[in-house]
Amino acid sequence: MAKLPAGTLYRGKVGMWSWVLHRITGVAIFFFLLVHILDTSLVRVDPEAYNSVMATYKTVIIGFGELGLVAAILFHAFNGVRIILIDFWRKGFKYQNLMFWIVVAIAFILFAGFAPRHLMHVFSYNH
Amino acid sequence: MEIVIETPNSPRKRKGANWEKYGWMYMRISGAVLIVLIFGHLIVNLWDKGVGAIDFAFVAGKWTNPFWQVWDVLMLWLAMIHGTNGMRTITNDYAEKEWVRKTLNVSLWVVCAALIILGTLVATTFDPCIDPNAVNYLPTVCK
Ligand code: HEM
């Protein structure tokens, strides 16, 4: 951003940070999806090539990357519902702040349930 | 350059189809459907048996079932168009030169179309029997 906008609508509160997070997670998921379509396409070419690329998804380092991806999807998905409610529910705007924290709570609880299980899968595969 | 921003809720003056509005609706409708499709995808592929179980045989097990082929193709189309249109919003926000903005947006849709065509072909023409071991785990399909 080269120039400062003359008047800004977003002043560092929940409304701005939820938007920043929604944007960053959306971009991250988008680039993962591009790669994911390409790697899956190997099933049409050669089973061994597909399996060897999948083996990299099972490494510990990429395993942690997958935690990040799932966290991004959880936030983006539930904050997407929040955006839809702000747009279509009459009281959505009034509760947008509260809904943000509900989004964070739901995403966090689901992530806390997923992360240990995923790490168990990853580490037992790499035992 | 001076930028004049219209009153946000002033009625639209231009005639013709309002594509920005359809795009706006699309982001919300596809988002709602994608919650079901993506969460189902993650539960079956990542939660149930974990990443460790994903290999060619795993994919063959799913894509010999039309249910998962339709699921995945639908998810592919909805997510790629949602993501590409979201990226377009972002380039429109940050690209300052008109030719940069146009080039980025055209590139985004070219990549989107290419990956949708590729992914759709892969999922619909999938042949589990190109794996010589497939007779072992899919004896009724591959002989
Ligand atoms: C899981 C279900 C999803 C829901 C409920 C959802 C919901 C939304 C909503 C409501 C918007 C705002 C659109 C607007 O402001 O007009 C949005 C933006 C966006 N989404 Fe999603 N989305 C989902 C999945 C995805 C996926 C899979 C991708 C990537 C392929 C993605 C990438 C984006 C991007 C890049 C934006 C633009 C962000 C911005 O303008 O700041 N979303 N999403």
In the predicted model, is pLDDT for residue A10 greater than 80?
no
Pocket (CB within 6 angstroms of ligand 1): A 22-23, 26-27, 29-30, 33, 76-77, 80-81, 83-84; B 24, 27-28, 31, 34-35, 38, 79, 82-83, 86-87, 89-90
Counting Cβ atoms within 10 Å, is residue B126 exposed (0-12), middle (13-18) or buried (19+)?
A: middle
pLDDT band at B6 (very low <50, low <70, confident <90, very high): confident
Mean pLDDT across A98-120: 98
Residue located nearest, by CA, to atom 6 of ligand 1: B31
Compute the average pLDDT of residues B117-123: 98
Average predicted confidence (pLDDT) for chain A: 93
Structural domains of chain A, with CATH: 20-122 (1.20.1300.10)
What are the φ and ψ backbone dihedral angles of B72, each rounded to 5 degrees?
Answer: -70, -35
Measured CA to CA, the distance from residue A41 to residue A58 in angstroms comes to 18
The structure's pTM equals 0.92
Give the residue, by CA position, lying nearest to ligand 1 atom 5.
B31
Q: Given ligand 1 and candidates B19, B38, B42, B82, which is best to mutate, with the most ligand atoms within 8 Å of its CB?
A: B82
Burial B98-110 (b: 16+ CB within 10 A, else e): eeebeebbeebee
**Residue among A73, A81, A75, A64 nearest A118 (CA):** A64
- So what's the pLDDT on residue B95? 95
The residue type of A17 is W
Kindly list the structural domains of chain B, giving each domain's residue range(s) and its CATH number in brackets, ordered by start.
Answer: 19-137 (1.20.1300.10)
- Residue B14, min C-alpha distance to chain A (Å): 23
pLDDT in tens, B29-72: 999 999 999 999 999 999 999 999 999 999 999 999 999 999 99
Say what the pLDDT of residue A5 is: 55
Which ipTM was obtained for this model? 0.92
Whether A23 has its CB under 8 Å from any CB of chain B: the answer is yes
Chain-chain contact of B119 with A57 (C-beta, under 8 angstroms) = no
Residues above pLDDT 70, as percent of chain A: 91
Residue B12, pLDDT score: 78
